[in-house]
Amino acid sequence: MFSFYFLRIHIMIYYLKKYFKTGCLLVFILSILSVGIWGVIFIQGKKEIQRQTIAFGAHTAQAATHKIDSVLSNISRTAQQFADSLSHRNFTKEEIEQHLKKVADTQPYILGVTVAYLPYQFNPKQRLYAPFYSKKEDRILQTGELYDYTDRTRWNYSAWVFNPIEKDIFWAEPGYGPAAQAVVTEYGIPFYDTKDPSKKIGVVDITFSLQGFNKLLNTLKLGKTGYAMLVSKEGHILSHPREDYLLSLKSMNDVSEETDDPRYKQAVKKLLNKETGYVEYLNPLLNRTSIVFYQPIPTTKWSIAVNIIKDEIEPDFEYSYKREIILSIFILFALISGSILLFKLYKAERIWIIAAEITFLLLVEIGFIWFRHQQQPMFDYASDETVISDVNGINTFINQTNGESEILHEDKPVYIPTGIYVRNIEFKDGRLIGLNGSIWQKLDTVLHKDVEPGVSFPDLSTDAEAFNMEEVYDRIEDGHRVIGWNFRLNILNKVDYKLYPFDRKDLKVNLRHHTVGKNIFLVPDADAYESLIPSTDPGINKSIPLVGWDFLGSYFSYEYKNLNTNFGLQHYQRQRNLPELSFNIILSRKIIGALIAHILPLLIIQLMLFGVIVIFSKTQVEISGYNTFGVINSCAAFFFVIVISHIDLRNTLEIEMVTYLEYIYFIVYIYVLLVTVNALLFSSAKHYAFVDYNNNYIPKLIFWPLFMLASILITLVLFY
């Protein structure tokens, strides 16, 4: 009987040797063909995506340029018409001031309009006359009473007058406007003496605040978090999401120094040279791959740069990620089969090399899948999530909600600017998260006179100490009641641990106005933040000590909820499609901790299990000192070590789902069982060909390839 088993093994090995080389050749040919075909499809698909991306960006930049140029052309045309009127007849003070207001009312993005006469040109008895109509204050200010705008020794105060008159410079570089009390840029055009058409006697000047340019550019739709920049002829920034750039009068050269990316520096150089083009680079503001499209604006000799986040306009990450995994699997098969043929590993004495190679390449494949998964976009927005990254997003939300309320015949919605600042985060268990920080609201003293301030958190824990909010200030500033609270709360968060330790956390703090059943909605207080762009981290203390986590960013968004009750209120409004403001904090787990705490011990246990079956031998029991009982004892010890580690993992996460790392635990459990069974069969009086052949040769040979194969199958199922 014993001889029969060995005969059967030898016959199996004979046929394996006979057809193994042919099988490897067939696998290699099919793998190479698959790599070639799939690679061509993948590359062509990437090229088409890139072409569509560039076409979209170029079209967007062209549309933005056209819109900006149209607005600026309209301003210059309006100023020209006003200057022509002043050149054709003499206006009275009343007429000039009425006309100033009329011009200002037709231009939505400007601060005001000035008519400035050179000394004694308006009235021989009056040296200076320069009325400035301020839209913000809705009144006329006399610039000549604030400062001498003809004093050439103070060029910063007089350039706006003399540049148009003497140097034909009509669009000014940005600077501080004393009358406007803001950082401004200006368009000025001279007008002439009614009796002498060659004599310039003053200028018509239209004043832009740099925030006005921001409002203009915010009307452009540039993806969820894209943005545009406006740059003056000399390279000064006229519009940018970061208002501190505007207030400090930064130039594009200053901004380019904030990054070491040569592609970005080259793009800045071309933009300042009034060239048209695009470049892909790592955006220093967003820390994400962006494509910047730049081109000049014909009317002003300024330039516009449109930054579009690449992964927001290309198909989502899954498109490339899944195709790359398939391609890598084909390459894996080609490498294994090709190396076997090339190095003649099909020979019996080299079979261990095949096992080692398969183990190594499968490990590399798992590492590749992990690596690509960690390269997923920083912000993976839900398809039904409305991200608020600028004032334009807030205005779009308001317009959409107003339209829905009209259709539903609801009361006119009320919008309360609300801000949040999170100072600290504590993970209490798998779902419970503790936060503390500040919340504030701004209520217009007129529009919101009948609205009580207040915030509710719909996702609070049921813990009696889950929430505390203490008022710290209540003031009136610039026509608004500003009220702020310090808060401490515990919220329940939906966290997906399926891919632990390669998971991320999207901490959502959902906010509602505390009034129930009325059309009162919260909107982000954009004026309270430098920027609402997610990767600029609005509303978060970036120095929070997050053990085991990396902070990726924060942003505001809206989620739409459907309620299945009216809470007993007959006239409850917006029961369906109820917009709820969310403040989102995105965290990525630091993998190294979990690798050291869990994966490394599992690998060590696997090595020890492998050592057990290697040294366990029927012919060398006296040498190794290892018998069946010793193997069972060792496996029992390994089992208890694994169980304790597994229980510790479950207690740490406190979740119900099975995570990726736990599947590796399950594989090791099975291996402990298989090694035990192998020892029993190997020491049995009955002969089993699988374990008896060549002193347990086959289990030793397939130990690591089978382990890595099981691991990669689980990785593919969960990560693909």
| 239-252 pLDDT per residue, tens | 877 767 777 788 88
Residue 144's CB: how many other CB atoms inside 10 A? 20
**Res. 3: pLDDT tops 70:** no
- What share of residues in the chain are helix, strand, coil (percent, to 5)? 45, 25, 30
| CA distances, 261 to each of 236, 283, 284, 532 (Å) | 20, 9, 9, 24
Residues 97 and 113 in one domain: yes
Q: 420: Cβ–Cβ under 8 A, 6 or more apart, which residues?
A: 437, 438, 439, 509, 511, 539, 583
| CA distances, 609 to each of 105, 513, 576, 605 (Å) | 83, 60, 59, 6
Q: Pull the structure tokens for residue 398.
A: 């308001």
What's the half-sphere exposure (Cβ side, CA atoms, 13 Å) at 169? Answer: 15
DSSP conformation class of 447? T
Beta bridge partners of 438: 421, 486
Tens digit of each residue's pLDDT (9 = 90 or more) over 148-175: 999 988 877 888 899 999 887 788 888 7
Answer whether 304's CB lies under 8 Å from 65's CB.
Answer: yes
C-alpha 298: how far from its chain's center? 33
Residues 90-103 have a mean pLDDT of 92
Beta bridge partners of 491: 433, 460
In terms of average pLDDT, the best of 38-52, 115-129, 219-233, 582-596 is: 115-129
- Please name the residue ranges forming H helices in 385-521: 391-407
- Residue at 353 is within a domain: yes
Cα–Cα nearest to 109, from 68, 157, 60: 68
Answer with the residue of higher pLDDT: 291 or 18: 291
In terms of average pLDDT, the best of 203-217, 305-319, 517-531 is: 517-531
Residues 308 and 319 in one domain: no
Answer with the residue of higher pLDDT: 332 or 241: 332
Q: Is 79 helix (H, G, I), strand (E, B) or coil?
A: helix
- Residue at 692 is within a domain: yes
Residues 558 and 585 in one domain: yes
659 pLDDT band (50/70/90 cuts)? Answer: very high
pTM of the model: 0.73
Question: Could you tell me whether strands 520-524 and 414-427 are parallel, antiparallel, or unpaired per DSSP bridges?
Answer: parallel
Q: Last residue of a domain, which of 313, 334, 364? A: 313
Which pLDDT score is estimated for 517? 75
Q: How far apart are CA 668 and CA 603, in angstroms?
A: 9
Cα angle 373, 379, 381 (rounded to 5 degrees) comes to: 105
Answer with the residue of higher pLDDT: 675 or 692: 675
Peptide bond into 501 cis (omega under 30): yes
Burial level of 567, CB count in 10 A (0-12/13-18/19+)? exposed
CATH number, residue 181: 3.30.450.20
Residue 561's CB: how many other CB atoms inside 10 A? 15
Q: Which amino acid is at 102?
A: K
Which pLDDT score is estimated for 17? 62
Question: Could you tell me whether strands 302-309 and 386-388 are parallel, antiparallel, or unpaired per DSSP bridges?
Answer: unpaired
Cα–Cα nearest to 293, from 309, 317, 312, 311: 309
- Please name the residue ranges forming H helices in 343-459: 351-374, 391-407
Average pLDDT, the chain: 84
Answer with the residue of higher pLDDT: 290 or 713: 713
- Residue at 78 is within a domain: no
**Res. 445: pLDDT tops 80:** yes
Residues 324 and 307 in one domain: no
Beta bridge partners of 484: 440, 473
Residues 49-64 have a mean pLDDT of 84
**Res. 622: pLDDT tops 50:** no
| CA distances, 7 to each of 12, 140, 678 (Å) | 9, 109, 21
Q: Which amino acid is at 250?
A: K
**Sign of the alpha-carbon torsion through 640, 645, 651, 654:** negative
Residue tagged 């959902």 (tokens): 510
Phi (first) and psi of residue 6, to 5 degrees: -70, -35
Phi (first) and psi of residue 546, to 5 degrees: -100, 95
- Please name the residue ranges forming H helices in 111-231: 143-146, 155-162, 210-217
DSSP conformation class of 173? P
**Res. 76: pLDDT tops 60:** yes
- Residue at 380 is within a domain: no
228 pLDDT band (50/70/90 cuts)? Answer: confident
Residues 518 and 636 in one domain: no
**Res. 315: pLDDT tops 90:** no
Beta bridge partners of 131: 142
Answer whether 427's CB lies under 8 Å from 493's CB.
Answer: no
Residue tagged 């009641």 (tokens): 481
Q: Last residue of a domain, which of 181, 212, 243? A: 212
Q: Last residue of a domain, which of 529, 564, 589? A: 589
Burial level of 663, CB count in 10 A (0-12/13-18/19+)? middle
Which pLDDT score is estimated for 623? 44
Cα–Cα nearest to 38, from 460, 358, 329: 329
Residues 328 and 283 in one domain: no
Q: 710: Cβ–Cβ under 8 A, 6 or more apart, which residues?
A: 667
Q: How far apart are CA 626 and CA 591, in angstroms?
A: 38
| CA distances, 51 to each of 55, 57, 140, 308 (Å) | 6, 10, 53, 15
Residues 505 and 611 in one domain: no
Residue 447's CB: how many other CB atoms inside 10 A? 13
- Residue at 225 is within a domain: yes
DSSP conformation class of 300? T
Tens digit of each residue's pLDDT (9 = 90 or more) over 367-414: 999 998 888 876 666 666 788 887 767 877 887 788 777 777 788 889
Answer whether 513's CB lies under 8 Å from 521's CB.
Answer: yes
Residues 690 and 644 in one domain: yes
> Which residue range(s) make up the domain with 37?
2-72+315-374
416 pLDDT band (50/70/90 cuts)? Answer: very high
Task: Note every long-range contact of 194-200, with CB atoms under 8 Å and residues 24 or more positions apart, other chains counting.
Answer: 194/87, 194/88, 194/89, 194/90, 197/87, 200/118, 200/165
Residues 345 and 427 in one domain: no
| Entry field: residues in the chain | 720
Answer with the residue of higher pLDDT: 287 or 394: 394
Residues 624-630 have a mean pLDDT of 68
Answer with the residue of higher pLDDT: 692 or 263: 263
CB neighbour burial string for 480-489, b if at least 16 within 10 angstroms, e if fewer: bbbbbbbbbb
- Please name the residue ranges forming H helices in 303-442: 310-313, 317-342, 351-374, 391-407
| CA distances, 454 to each of 439, 516, 533 (Å) | 10, 11, 26
Cα–Cα nearest to 135, from 166, 181, 90, 92: 181
Look at the chain and report how many structural domains it folds into.
Answer: 5
Indicate the helix (H) or strand (E) that contains 669. Answer: helix 660-683
- Please name the residue ranges forming H helices in 194-298: 210-217, 243-247, 252-256, 262-272
Q: Which amino acid is at 543?
A: S
Residues 532 and 390 in one domain: yes
Which pLDDT score is estimated for 387? 84
Residues 622 and 709 in one domain: yes
**Sign of the alpha-carbon torsion through 339, 341, 343, 349:** positive
Share of the chain above pLDDT 90, in %: 31
Q: Pull the structure tokens for residue 644.
A: 């304790």
Answer with the residue of higher pLDDT: 618 or 569: 569
Q: How far apart are CA 290 and CA 307, in angstroms?
A: 6
Cα–Cα nearest to 531, from 629, 392, 427: 392
301 pLDDT band (50/70/90 cuts)? Answer: confident
- Residue at 50 is within a domain: yes
Residues 80-100 have a mean pLDDT of 92
Residues 108 and 176 in one domain: yes
Which pLDDT score is estimated for 720? 86
- Residue at 680 is within a domain: yes
Which pLDDT score is estimated for 120? 93
Answer with the residue of higher pLDDT: 169 or 321: 321
Q: Which amino acid is at 407?
A: I
Which pLDDT score is estimated for 67? 84
Answer whether 290's CB lies under 8 Å from 200's CB.
Answer: no
- Residue at 461 is within a domain: yes
Residues 76-96 have a mean pLDDT of 92
